[in-house]
Chain A
């Protein structure tokens, strides 16, 4: 057991703790030592209660101040640095927020940062993908304080425990550099790509935005998130926040169904860690079949409606 003291910076929105937190805690547990969680922003008190019940958490720090809504990097950076002194490790999920805030924290502390950790070998040695996941690098940090982002899908969510104590800390407030204007979030009823258990993705094979309804039909039967290949996004069938791949979302659901997706390297990089992959494609030579557990060579416009009907 090492004597690490770990602070996990959790994301929360309107009192709702991000589902990635339980997975980051799995990574934190592998470092050995005691684990605190920081939640900040409006209604952080509610999210703090959720964090307190996650296995392995010794204490939760809640800083309820709207300056930390949307994880604005300038405000969050100042807050994390103000709390950093006792900790040996600062961890955050490698989401677009974590990748925005944590390098700023590291530079303010004068240390390096380790991005997108997928395995913990020891308290100072970690595995992370480089070259779009085509190589895995094992790196040892030389810093006293390790500032890390954790790829959530590489770890399992921890379970629940009797609630740990929640305390509050002083807000460092608004830094007066950046203000939030607005956001356009996709989704609606369907689960978010990052946390979905099942994902149904469509590619250029769908042929049009209208035909993407076939994907949505199957997704809704399975309670799944909808994804897309870059080709489908570039063709304008769906908005870009649905893109799975090296330049889009990295996902690893229990079940990934790829329909009309040929399987370009850039797409495979984003979904090849899924537990079960299904490929449906009319082209039996499509590279997607080389990574699929189950391949069905079929016309999408017959197979997808049939799948929706029979599920």
Chain B
């Protein structure tokens, strides 16, 4: 079985995001970039499926300008067999990305597609289910456990009240939650080797898909910070203030 993994290049999760002075957008100039953490989990799961003998090929795909090749090389160092760069000078939104990925799915015919549950920049959680819709595949979002049994897939999802397990036919689209696995680190020899390996390249204009963004960004703002309140000296004072000042108990 071939497993396709979508990879997004985002700002490193340790970097504090700034906005431009004119509030027109976030300011990513000189910001450290990395593979989206949830995509790392998706890739790790694909590599583990290969190590278990369930998958025979792991293909990683990323959409963006040349810079995303950096994350595709990381993907190879972490165990991806092949990588596909869909070259686009302009940013695509979730629907655009899903349409591009649907075209890649049509060409590659994977048995399973893994994506992160969301990217830590736009926080939309859309691309996975959109891809499932466009390719008429079943979907499981927020997966914390994946078990493949022959032609079917059993996925445990993290839902608001706890956990839910679904069974679905393959091929399917699965988006990964934090607890699915703990991604490995790339080893230096693998990183060196990945530098020399080829990356397949596709031009977004040649895929025949409509990717014009469906929303415009009007402005960005930094939310108002919460201020520290008062220190209380005792449990009695705390209870008194909660009753008589805040009136919440």
Q: Complex formed: what's the CA distance from A303 to B235 in Å?
A: 7
Q: Complex formed: what's the CA distance from A298 to B229 in Å?
A: 17
Interface size on B, residues (CB 8 A): 74
- Which chain A positions have C-beta within 8 A of B19? 135
Whether A113 sits at the interface, judged by CB under 8 Å, is yes
Also in contact, A114 and B215, with CB within 8 A (given A177-B138, A180-B166):
yes
Question: Interface size class for chain A?
Answer: 35 or more
Pick the residue among B220, B223, B228 that contacts A295 (CB under 8 A): B228
Q: Is there an interface contact between A294 and B242, defined as CB atoms closer than 8 Å?
A: yes
Q: Is there an interface contact between A107 and B95, defined as CB atoms closer than 8 Å?
A: yes
Pick the residue among B93, B157, B159 that contacts A112 (CB under 8 A): B93
Q: Is there an interface contact between B216 and A142, defined as CB atoms closer than 8 Å?
A: yes
Whether A184 sits at the interface, judged by CB under 8 Å, is yes
- Which chain B positions have C-beta within 8 A of A182? 164-165
> Within the complex, what minimum Cβ distance (angstroms) separates B20 from chain A?
11
**Within residues 86 to 144 of chain B, which ones have a CB less than 8 A from any CB in chain A?**
93-95, 98, 120-134, 137-142, 144
Q: Complex formed: what's the CA distance from A254 to B242 in Å?
A: 11
Q: Is there an interface contact between B215 and A192, defined as CB atoms closer than 8 Å?
A: no
Q: Is there an interface contact between B157 and A107, defined as CB atoms closer than 8 Å?
A: no
Please report whether the interface of chain A is mostly helix, strand, loop or mixed according to DSSP.
Answer: mixed
> Within the complex, what minimum Cβ distance (angstroms) separates A199 from chain B?
12
The residue in chain A whose Cβ has the minimal distance to the Cβ of B157 is: A96
Q: Is there an interface contact between A136 and B220, defined as CB atoms closer than 8 Å?
A: yes
Q: Complex formed: what's the CA distance from A30 to B84 in Å?
A: 44
Q: Is there an interface contact between B129 and A131, defined as CB atoms closer than 8 Å?
A: no
The residue in chain B whose Cβ has the minimal distance to the Cβ of A70 is: B164
Also in contact, A181 and B216, with CB within 8 A (given A130-B122, A131-B123, A294-B230):
no
Whether B16 sits at the interface, judged by CB under 8 Å, is yes
- Which chain A positions have C-beta within 8 A of B236? 310
> Within the complex, what minimum Cβ distance (angstroms) separates A24 from chain B?
14
Q: Is there an interface contact between A276 and B166, defined as CB atoms closer than 8 Å?
A: no
Q: Complex formed: what's the CA distance from A99 to B159 in Å?
A: 10
Whether B221 sits at the interface, judged by CB under 8 Å, is yes
Pick the residue among B138, B142, B242 that contacts A255 (CB under 8 A): B242
Also in contact, A103 and B125, with CB within 8 A (given A135-B19, A249-B160):
yes
Count the A-B residue pairs with Cβ separation under 8 angstroms: how many? 238
Q: Is there an interface contact between B162 and A74, defined as CB atoms closer than 8 Å?
A: no
**Within residues 88 to 143 of chain A, which ones have a CB less than 8 A from any CB in chain B?**
95-97, 99-108, 110-116, 125, 129-143
Whether A83 sits at the interface, judged by CB under 8 Å, is no
Whether A209 sits at the interface, judged by CB under 8 Å, is no
Q: Is there an interface contact between A131 and B121, defined as CB atoms closer than 8 Å?
A: yes
Q: Is there an interface contact between B123 and A129, defined as CB atoms closer than 8 Å?
A: yes
Whether B67 sits at the interface, judged by CB under 8 Å, is no
Q: Mark A181-219, 1 if CB is under 8 A from B, else 0.
A: 111111100001110001000000000000000000000
The residue in chain B whose Cβ has the minimal distance to the Cβ of A240 is: B179
Q: Complex formed: what's the CA distance from A129 to B231 in Å?
A: 30
Q: Complex formed: what's the CA distance from A115 to B119 in Å?
A: 13
The residue in chain A whose Cβ has the minimal distance to the Cβ of B239 is: A310
Q: Mark B215-249, 1 if CB is under 8 A from A, else 0.
A: 11111111100101111101110110110001011
- Extra 14 A-B pairs, beta carbons < 8 Å, given A100-B129, A115-B125, A134-B223: A106-B130, A112-B95, A115-B126, A129-B223, A138-B220, A142-B214, A142-B216, A177-B137, A180-B164, A187-B162, A198-B249, A254-B248, A290-B226, A307-B238
Residues in A lying within 8 Å of B, measured CB to CB = 70, 72-74, 77, 95-97, 99-108, 110-116, 125, 129-143, 177-187, 192-194, 198, 222, 239-241, 247, 249, 254-255, 272, 275-278, 289-298, 303, 306-307, 310-311
Residues in B lying within 8 Å of A, measured CB to CB = 11, 16-17, 19, 26, 93-95, 98, 120-134, 137-142, 144, 154, 157-169, 178-179, 213-223, 226, 228-232, 234-236, 238-239, 241-242, 246, 248-249
Instruction: Please give me the 7 A-B residue pairs with the lowest Cβ-Cβ distance, nearest first.
Output: A112-B214, A293-B229, A107-B130, A177-B138, A107-B133, A103-B129, A103-B126
